[in-house]
Structure 1
Amino acid sequence: MAYPAATNYEIAQVCLLAGKIMLENGGETYRVEDTMTHVAEAFGVPNSHSFVTPTGIIFSIDGPEQTTRLIRISARSTDLRKVTVVNAISRRISQGDLSPKEAYRLLEEIDAAQMRYPAWFQILSAAVASGCFLIMFHGEWPDFFPAFIAGGVGLAFLNYFHRLVPIKFFAEFLASLLIGTMAFLFVKMGFGHALDTIIIGSVMPLVPGLLITNAVRDLMAGHFVSGVSKGAEAFLTAFAIGAGIAFVLSFYNGVGI
């Protein structure tokens, strides 16, 4: 289907919004750049350039009507469903099924949509995963329920702390501190037995696995700035989790229980 010719500004708008959605919801840097380039080529712009970091996107189109735009990425989370939907729209654009205006409208709907699973489902999933991780790490079945409770409550408070205190890594520290305290109390009351496996299973939903994976994949793709910065963020997140647990273990060993 033939569509009216679009301006470079409209094409840049579509590319930037697609890249923004992917980057904010867990997409790798090289995948974001690749998607933006393919979208621009599908709209008849072969000479486009993009530079993506975890905190911003610069997109430029060469030619008589040269267009260069920058967009700031201030918040990042994990919602791979949005990344998948943006990829589907990118494929439709490549097939000529969408005009720039139609594509931008669909991307705006995706950006505004609350497509993540509801909070109660995330908490329940984290609780079940915590119990399963405990068994996987050779824990005992009587400790399944303590890990179930600590893991679910830990993720619930992590989400709450993220909204309450907009300081990076502080929420992870507080959530892991709470998990360690709950595990300590469970063992002290006789409700749990092995403190170490309960803690390990409960903190697994907090571990920045996607950040670590994306950091490695970006480094392998040659995006060293993004790879190193994501790796540093993953390291600091893991350090915050470990610091909270270390505080509890120090107290646990200090009281000699």
Structure 2
Amino acid sequence: MASLEPLLDKDGVRLTVDDVIATVTLANPAKRNAQSPALWRALIEAGRSVPGSVRVVVLRAEGKSFSAGLNRQMFTPEGIEGEPSFIDLARRDDAGLDASIAEFQEAFTWWRRNDIVSIAAVRGHAVGAGFQLALACDLRVVADDVQFAMLETSLGLVPDLTGTHPLVSLVGYARALEICLTGRFVQADEAQRIGLANLAVPVEQLDDAVRDLAGALVTAPRDAVIETKALLRGAGGRSYDEQRAAERAAQARRLRDLAGVGE
């Protein structure tokens, strides 16, 4: 990716913008881009810092691993300095615990906004929270060395960083259940075959493949892309007739806009 002056560079997250394409980079390869509350706060800030002119956001990582999951210190009694440990979280009342998890989830929610299309460029390990961060994006391009795994259940936890909904949507309930409960690794060929990955390429071609995809995504008029994305995102929650109505309403807006006719 192009080397540009970052709009944000903190806590293992870097945001750069090149015209209508923004790149969010996980930038702590020494720790395999392990995740922590500080990194999640930086991801939230990155989402808020993306200029309104941006149409595509690429999520990538430095080093040989996309993200090896949670920082292991979070599993220790003392936790990470300056952050609540898991024990501290467990001792909060229901409202406090729910609010804490909801705050963590915010780092994973903005990638599916209708005004952008997000692409995760994934290589190496994408484990647990790393897997869920890749799932947070609209599209995934993976290198041939990718290894997805959802290890939360094997640790006595559940995937709680917004990953369950897209996983079931992509691969179906039965396969999602099997992937989560076994904690096994899903590699590139299977990821593409079952719908986790849109494209799998040799690792040395990953950046070029993502760049080509991003370029293709910005060729259509922006308003048409936004309307189409909104239609597709909402389809799963609508009946067939409700979706037909949503299509009609969206097309009416597009026709009037193109014709310069006010509603």
Note whether the superposition's TM-score is higher than 0.5. Answer: no
| Structure with the greater alpha carbon radius of gyration | 1
Between the two structures, name the one with larger relative contact order (CA 8 Å, sep ≥ 6).
Answer: 1
Please give the TM-score of this superposition, normalised by the length of structure 2.
Answer: 0.25
